[in-house]
Every structure is written in C-alpha cells, then in structure tokens.
Amino acid sequence: MDTASICISFIVAIFGIAYPILLQVISKLDERYSSIIILELFNKEKVRKFFHFSLILSLSSILIYILKLPNPFDFGKLNLLINNSALIFLVTSTGTLVISFLYFVDKILIYYTPSQFLKYLIKQHNNSSNNNYTNFKAISDILIFSIKEQNETIANTISDFMYLAFKNYREKNEGQPVEYPSCYYEVVYKATEELASFKNKKLVFLEYKTVGGTWLLGELGTHKISETTYYWLWRNLLLAMKYERDDLIIYFWENANSYVFYQLGEIYAEYSSDHQFTIINNKEIEEINKDKERFLEFHYALGGLLLYKKRYSCINRIFNYTMSIPPKYELLPETMGEIFKRFIEFMDTHERKYTSISSNYSFPDMEGLNADYSVKNWIIRYIGVLFIRQYSIQPHLITMKPLELPNLPKTQSEKRIWLNNIDHFKFIIKDTLRNKGLLKTTKLDFISDDWLKKHEKPKPNDLLELYKNQIEQDFEKIKIEQKISGIKQQQFEESSKQIIIKAIELYNPIINPSLFTKDFNNWFIYGVRTVMDKTAFVDDQETSYLNYDSILAEKVSSNFMLGISETFFYTKSNSYLLKGNEIFQAIDKMNIDDNYIIINFRQNIDWYKNYYKVEGLNQNSYKGIEIFNCSVSNYELVGQSFFILKKSDLPNILYLDIDDKEIQKYSLKLIDENFKIYSSIIDLNSENEILEELISSHSDKELRKYVLINLLIKTEIRWKKNVKSIMLKLFSEHRDRGLPNRKKDINKLK
C-alpha cells in the first residue's frame, strides 16, 4: 500500500466515520448542560475551526492528487518537487488533519467532563479582558447542571468561584451602591429556583450562599446595597416562599443579621479638637443610618409577606434568632418607639414615601389598583405582631423598657397624623390578638388578662389609648399656647396690602378727581374682622394653609368692588331692559360724545362685536366713547348691564382714617398710608378682654385656639345728588319677566 493510499484512507476514515460521530456528540452538548451559551462557546473554539479547515484542506488535496495535472513548464531542478507536489500536499494535509482531529477530540472530552470543563472555563474567565461575561454565564449553566445532578464537588468549586467573583466586583465599587451585571443576579435566581425545588439537604452550603444572600450581600466591606440588588433579593425570597422553604428564608435572615452587625453597625461620633466640639464624621453617620433604615424596611416587608402567607412557624424562628447572649435581635425592634415609627411610615396616608410599594415588594396574587394598599396593610399587621412581641421581651439591662411609650411627636402635624391613625392601629392589635393560631405558633399566647394583671402590664389597646390621650392633651395644649409667627404675620400684611391695592387701582379710571363737598349721597365700605384658626399663623402647623395670607384680603377686595357696583345701581336715574341687538342702537340714540363713559358690568364685548356685528366696538371703547369693564359686581343688581353717564358725574372714592379707640383696642397696624389699610392678628388666648366679647358665639375652649384677624379699610363713595345715569340691562327670556323695552323708549342725553 503506497503513501497516497494510506493518506486517503486516513482522510476517508476521519471524514466518513469519526466526523459524523463527533457531530452527534457535539449536538448532545445542549442536552447535557441545557445551555445554549456552552454550545455557542464550543462553536467559537479555535480548535473546532482549525479541524474544519484541515478537513476541507485534506479533501481538496485528494481532489488535486486524483486529477494529476501535468506540469506545463520546465523548472529544471525543481521539476521533481513540482511533479510530486500533489503527493506532498496530500501527505501534509493528512498530517494536519490528524493533529487537528486529536486536538478536537481532546476539546470535546474537556467539554464532556464537567470537572475539566469547569476548570477550563474558570481559566478562560480569569484570562478574559472583555466584559461580555460569556464564560461566567457558561459557569452559571454548569452550576444549574450540578444542582440538578446533585454533584456536590462541582457545586462546591463553582461556589468558591462565584464567591470570589461577587467579592471582586464589590471591591471595585467600594463605598457606593453595588449594581452587579445582570448575569450575576440571574445565576443566583436560577440556582435558588433549582435548590428550592429539592427537599434534600445535600447542597445546603449553596442554599446559604444563593438565597441566603452571601454572594449578593457579602460578608465584610463598606459597600452599599443598590435598589437593583434589593429587587433580586426579594425575587429570590418569593421563590423560597413559593416552594414553602422556610429554611431558605431563615438562611437569609441569619446572613442579614450578620450584615447589620458587621456592616451597618453603629458609628460613634468623632469630635473636633477645637473648643466647638463639632462632629467631624457626621456625614458617615448619616449615610450608615440611611442605609440601615433601608435595610430594615426590607425586612419589615419580608415579615409582612410571611404573615400574608401564614408562615407562622417561620415568623417564630426569626423572632428567636440571635447571634449573642444575652440576645440581641438586629432585625427586630427593641422599643415601642421603633414600632410606632414604622407603623406611621407604612401607614403613609399621604403617599409621600411609599407611592408604589408593590413595585418594590410584590406579594403573590396581589395586583391592580389595590396592590399598594394590600401590601402596606400586611406590613402594618406584621408591625402589630411586633407590638405584641414586646410583651415577651425579658429586660437584661436596666435601660431596657420594652413597653415604655415613646416620646410624644415633636410637631403638631406629626401629632395630627398619629391622632388620625392610632385607632386603626388599635384595630390591628385587636384583630391580631384574635388570631389564636398565630399567637400559639409564635409563643405569644401567654398574654391574657390574668397574666397582664399578675405582671402589672397594661393591656395592648389600653397602652395605645394612653398614648393617644397623651398626644391629644399635648396637641391641644400647644395649639392654644403657641405664639403667632412673626414671619407669617409679615407675610399676611404684605400679601394683603398687595391684593387690596391692586383691586383699588383697578377703579382709578372711574374716580372723579373733583371732590364733592356738598349735595352728595355717600356709602361706606369697610374691611373685615373675623375669627380664624390660629394654626394658620403659627410655625408648628398641624396642616398646611396655602392661602392663609390672601384669603381675607380677597374678601376685602371683593367687598370693595361689589360695593362700588352696588352704588351705581342705587344712583341710576333710569333703567331699560333691552334685547342684545338693540343695546348699542340705544346708545347711539342717546347721542353721547367722549365726555361720557360706558361702565360695563360683566358683559361680553366680543359677543356683541362678533354676533351682532356692532361696528366701532372694541374692549375699551365704542365709537370713541370710553368703556370701563368691571369684572366683579353684584350680579343680582347690575350683572349683564351697561351704565352710561358723564365722566364729570363719576363718584369720589375717599379712604378715611380708622377711629383711634378702635386702633388701640385691636392693636391695629397701618400697613399702607395712602389707602389707610390697617391690620392686626390677635391671639385670643392672650387677650381676655376681646375674648369675653366673643364668648357669646363661641365656647371659651374653642376661642382660645383662634385668632381675631382685622383687615380694615374705611372707604367712602360719594355721588352727586340727582346724577343722570342710565342703566341698560340685557334682556333674558329665562331670567326676566315681562316685556323688554324698545329702542324708541330711549331718549337723548345731550
């Protein structure tokens, strides 16, 4: 058998027998690991590509050898080499094919041997400089494979690798929220799902590191937890809940306790060396406290989830888990103050903090508009269980007082929130005490009237009622005694002055500059004196008053404008009820000139202009005659009317001084000299004389919570006697009775 035959036999054997077998083996890689990533990795291997190239090359060499193409040229000494080049090419390609085949088989063996393949992937990952995490994803798939196969050796190796991978990533982001690549979260989630479905305890170490949170949270360092990490932690716990694996939740609780103790522990204040003794690490303290608050919030939500799913045994286990003697429960409250604080936070009646809590803490079978309310409700119910748990705490320090009521809320708004919600908390406690199964499982069923009496403990709801009464008394006391804010009083004065002057100046165009000293009729418009809740004018408000500084001035301004409109009605000499199309025809018939003025009380000029096509009409004049538009008026008297009179017959508007006795009695302050505007805010709790005068209409108790507000202006409106003022009112078939006047009824004014 010659050399060529041997080479061709090798090539045919590899191509015809070995290669199909290898293809079949490769196709089963996906079935073996259930991983598309691993199959893609294999297809990208250089050895595989080299083998394919060698196979094509060797097949080509056979074709060239069989053709035996003649050499058309004479190359002298090289003729021998060229004449045998086909054989040389065949031998060389065969050798290359055999070598590549051996490497290819070796690579297949590596892929098919999990332990060898794992080492290979770890090495590739460590040597990789790109960030596509392909090898990491392949290792993740092998981890899932090892869990399914319950291969402890491989799982252990991958566990160590993952621990370092997560640790190294955290170290790169030290001191800031760590958001891992998505594949990091996914491997934990997939592993959790596989582990949760197994009931044996062969891979406990892996359960502790996945759903237990070791990989995601870490054990040491100063890194922060990102919101994305919280999201995936919650998803992992939902899987544990789905498969009723309380042990997995306890693993997480254990790790979370360690996390609080080692990474969120209390930082003691460091003071500057100067005489001011300022805290130099205040920022670090605030950050650690903020991180701890967020972490504890997560675990209150977890407690609510356990209660919702009736995992009472698991609740009992977390209630009793501690890492120290005497016991300290890092994730549970020690004082009533902590419990009350959490209750108010999660009640969140104004949706300030937890606007969409269900997106952060989704509960199974809760969706739609009521999801947020339902999630918060179960968390609050868990807080109710924690309230009852306080009765079981045995103090081991003189400073421990588990049933001691917290300090009263500092601000009136906080007190109001408590007063509005404490009855709901009482309902929660009462309902929890009726849940005998929960109390028995959590060993809180010892609480009874006899036990409370024997140990001299107050009943839970009596304790809440006592706290409510304390808050209520303090709330009422401060509401009566607190002083008026100087800043708010100043704001009231400035706003009132601006609003009233703006209204006054609107009417400057219709003020007669010639003062009437005789033969006139006059009307007076006064300011406003009223009683208002003092809360609007204090710094510590139970609720916000947005328009406290303007509401009274708006009333004074409105009275001023209404009063002026009413005097036009009372001084008219004639009035006519006309249809819309005849009003301006009537004005034309009056034969008036620019010495006259048209006063418009809430008539739509554009409507006349566009609907009746009145020529020479615009917002401010009609055929050269000035129009003055009044937007505020007494609608019953002058609404939908025009008044026509001479400009010389327009009224005087005078601003008079307030009586000195009234100024002294009500402590009035002049806030504008031009228009003689006075104001004062009197605390009725400190002005007994004025208080006595008002008692007839209010109870003394109520009045002491109020202030008497004075915003006074004495306005005199003077009209000439027998002024000739014509009122033209728009006729309405729906409003007016009788028949309208006709245009012929109108007489000339000139």
Residue 514 shares a structural domain with residue 375: no
The tens digit of pLDDT for each residue in 170-199 reads 888 777 888 999 999 999 999 999 888 887
Residues 349 and 421 sit within 8 Å (Cβ to Cβ): yes
* Contacting residues for 25 by C-beta, under 8 A, at least 6 apart: 108, 112
pLDDT band at residue 347 under the 50/70/90 scheme: confident
CA-closest candidate to residue 89, choices 14, 4, 19: 4
- Quick one: pLDDT at residue 62? 59
The pTM is what?
Answer: 0.78
Asked if pLDDT for residue 599 goes beyond 60, the answer is: yes
Residue 454 shares a structural domain with residue 511: no
d(CA 218, CA 227): 16
Residue 641 shares a structural domain with residue 737: yes
- Quick one: pLDDT at residue 303? 95
Residue 395 shares a structural domain with residue 429: yes
d(CA 64, CA 181): 53
The tens digit of pLDDT for each residue in 536-574 reads 888 888 777 788 889 999 999 999 999 999 999 999 999
- Higher-confidence position of 1 and 146: 146
Print the SS3 string covering 366-410: CCCCCHHHHHHHHHHHHHHHHHHHHHHCCCCCCCCCCCCCCCCCC
Residue 559 shares a structural domain with residue 683: yes
d(CA 59, CA 62): 5
First-to-last alpha carbon distance for the chain, in angstroms, is 142
Residues 709 and 484 sit within 8 Å (Cβ to Cβ): no
Residue 559 lies in a domain: yes
Residues 713 and 676 sit within 8 Å (Cβ to Cβ): yes
- Quick one: pLDDT at residue 478? 86
Residues 27 and 36 sit within 8 Å (Cβ to Cβ): no
Residue 252 lies in a domain: no
Q: What is the DSSP letter of 712?
A: E
Q: What is the DSSP letter of 18?
A: I
Picking from 468-472, 552-556, 577-581, which range would have the lowest pLDDT averaged per residue?
Answer: 577-581
What is the chain's mean pLDDT, rounded?
Answer: 84
d(CA 97, CA 542): 87
Residue 469 shares a structural domain with residue 406: yes
Residue listed under structure tokens 């739609």 = 368
Residue 389 shares a structural domain with residue 515: no
Residue 15 neighbours by CB distance under 10 Å: 15
Residue 682 lies in a domain: yes
pLDDT band at residue 297 under the 50/70/90 scheme: very high
Greatest mean pLDDT among 20-34, 294-308, 607-621 lies in 294-308
d(CA 735, CA 714): 35
Residue 580 lies in a domain: yes
Q: What is the DSSP letter of 14?
A: I
pLDDT band at residue 733 under the 50/70/90 scheme: confident
Query: Which residue, of 431, 451, 481, is where some domain finishes?
Result: 481
d(CA 250, CA 241): 11
Query: Which residue, of 438, 462, 481, is where some domain finishes?
Result: 481
pLDDT band at residue 361 under the 50/70/90 scheme: very high
- Quick one: pLDDT at residue 282? 73
pLDDT band at residue 382 under the 50/70/90 scheme: very high
CA-closest candidate to residue 376, choices 349, 338, 346: 346
d(CA 293, CA 407): 20
Residue 556 shares a structural domain with residue 477: no
Residue 69 lies in domain: 3-112
Residue 215 neighbours by CB distance under 10 Å: 24
Residue 443 shares a structural domain with residue 543: no
Residue 25 shares a structural domain with residue 86: yes
- Quick one: pLDDT at residue 746? 81
Residue 648 lies in a domain: yes
Asked if pLDDT for residue 441 goes beyond 50, the answer is: yes
Which 3 state secondary structure label does DSSP give 490?
Answer: helix
Residue 436 shares a structural domain with residue 524: no
Token readout for 227 is 């919101």
Q: What is the DSSP letter of 35?
A: -
Asked if pLDDT for residue 79 goes beyond 60, the answer is: no
Residues 731 and 579 sit within 8 Å (Cβ to Cβ): yes
Domain count, the chain: 3
Query: How are beta strands 726-730 and 621-622 bridged, if at all?
Result: unpaired
Token readout for 451 is 């036990």
Greatest mean pLDDT among 76-90, 296-310, 398-412, 444-458 lies in 296-310
Q: What is the DSSP letter of 113?
A: S
Query: Which residue, of 450, 481, 512, is where some domain finishes?
Result: 481
The burial class, CB within 10 Å (0-12 / 13-18 / 19+), for 596 is buried
- Higher-confidence position of 166 and 93: 166
Residue 421 lies in a domain: yes
- Quick one: pLDDT at residue 132? 72
Residues 154 and 142 sit within 8 Å (Cβ to Cβ): yes
Residues 642 and 587 sit within 8 Å (Cβ to Cβ): yes
- Quick one: pLDDT at residue 357? 87
* Contacting residues for 545 by C-beta, under 8 A, at least 6 apart: 535, 536
Residue 647 lies in a domain: yes
d(CA 629, CA 643): 11
Residue 420 shares a structural domain with residue 441: yes
At 164, which helix (H) or strand (E)?
Answer: helix 152-172
One-letter amino acid for residue 180 of the chain: Y
Print the SS3 string covering 653-668: EEEECCCHHHHHHCCC
Asked if pLDDT for residue 61 goes beyond 70, the answer is: no
- Quick one: pLDDT at residue 176? 81
CA-closest candidate to residue 539, choices 388, 410, 370, 648: 410
Token readout for 46 is 């250089």
pLDDT band at residue 274 under the 50/70/90 scheme: low
Residue 139 lies in a domain: no
